[in-house]
A = this chain, B = another copy of it.
Amino acid sequence: MKRGKVRSDMAWSTPTRIVVRGMDLCEEIIGKVDFGQMAFLEIFGRLPNAREERMFNAVLVILVEHGITPSTLATRLTYCGAPEAVQGAVAAGLLGLGSVFVGSLDNAARMLQEALPDPKAGADLDALAKAIVEAHRSRREIIPGIGHPFHKPIDPRTPKLFQVAKETGFSGRYVELMQKIGAEAERSYQRTLPVNVTGAMAAVASEFGLPWKVCRGLAVMGRAVGLVGHILEEIKMPMAEEIYFRLEEEASEEARRKG
């Protein structure tokens, strides 16, 4: 039984031609469209204008690389067991991009988009920010997109991303609401709780009209690039085996003693 139609408009091809989002891959993309424009094309179905391009690239590059993290360690350790499957090592590193490290990106975007379903409607942002902070506080839930355990007092990426947003015309209602939420939270909790990088990315992604459900994908695209970088460094300057030997020895000390 065929219940519905299966349809995708992403691309189609013939033996001699590949059409991606309506553009001819060979004639219009290769050598003409760069990687950031291509990512935009994939997400929005058209090429960006100059303002969009600068803003979107800023979002894409921001989480590519943060040195040795659980994610890059997972990639390196996986590579050391399966060097023939680079795709698996990258996949392993991506799998740690969950609720602890980038999940707040989705959550913050959801919070913003549900509070402000139509950014053009004249909502009272101060009232919204207050209501959001109070609602989270009463449920004892963490407000996504504010505060950072390490980058203190403020996450240095946020002002930079918001500055680019201003310069490119993307500093709209979602950015404003996110900032007001941070300010309101600081007032309410009486501690420094500025917008962090995922909060800033969530606000800008919302300005682009990107549904919150897919916002984490921006981090995933960027990190995939970074993880390939780590694989190359692992080839040239390996650490995975050393990590394994050291940790195996230390971790099993107690069990060995008991025999």
Q: Residues of A with Cβ closer than 8 Å to B? A: 1-13, 15-22, 25-27, 29-31, 33-36, 38-39, 42-43, 53-54, 57-58, 60-62, 64-74, 77-78, 80-92, 94-103, 106, 150-154, 156-157, 159-161, 163-164, 167, 210-211, 213-214, 216-218, 220-222, 224-226, 228-233, 235, 237, 239-256, 258-259
Q: Return the chain B residue nearest A158 by Cβ.
A: B26
Copy count, this protein chain? 4
Q: Return the chain B residue nearest A69 by Cβ.
A: B244
Q: Return the chain B residue nearest A257 by Cβ.
A: B12
Contact B156 A90 (CB under 8 A): no
Contact B228 A157 (CB under 8 A): no
Bound-state CA distance A199–B170 (Å) is 41
Contact B98 A81 (CB under 8 A): yes
What's the nearest-Cβ distance from chain B to residue A11, in Å?
Answer: 4
Contact B249 A235 (CB under 8 A): no
| Residues in B whose Cβ lies below 8 Å from that of A237 | 7-9
Contact B95 A164 (CB under 8 A): no
Contact A77 B80 (CB under 8 A): no
**Which of B17, B103, B151 contacts A16, CB < 8 Å?**
B151
Bound-state CA distance A214–B253 (Å) is 26
What's the nearest-Cβ distance from chain B to residue A170, in Å?
Answer: 11
Q: Return the chain B residue nearest A232 by Cβ.
A: B214
With contacts A78-B92, A225-B42, A229-B42 taken as known, whether A3 is within 8 angstroms of B246 at the C-beta atoms is yes
| Residues in B whose Cβ lies below 8 Å from that of A13 | 66-67, 150-151
Which of A13, A22, A95 gathers the greatest number of chain B CB atoms within 10 Å? A95
| Residues in B whose Cβ lies below 8 Å from that of A101 | 81-82
**Which of B54, B65, B68, B80 contacts A252, CB < 8 Å?**
B68
With contacts A35-B34, A35-B35 taken as known, whether A84 is within 8 angstroms of B84 at the C-beta atoms is yes
Bound-state CA distance A35–B58 (Å) is 8
Contact A251 B78 (CB under 8 A): no
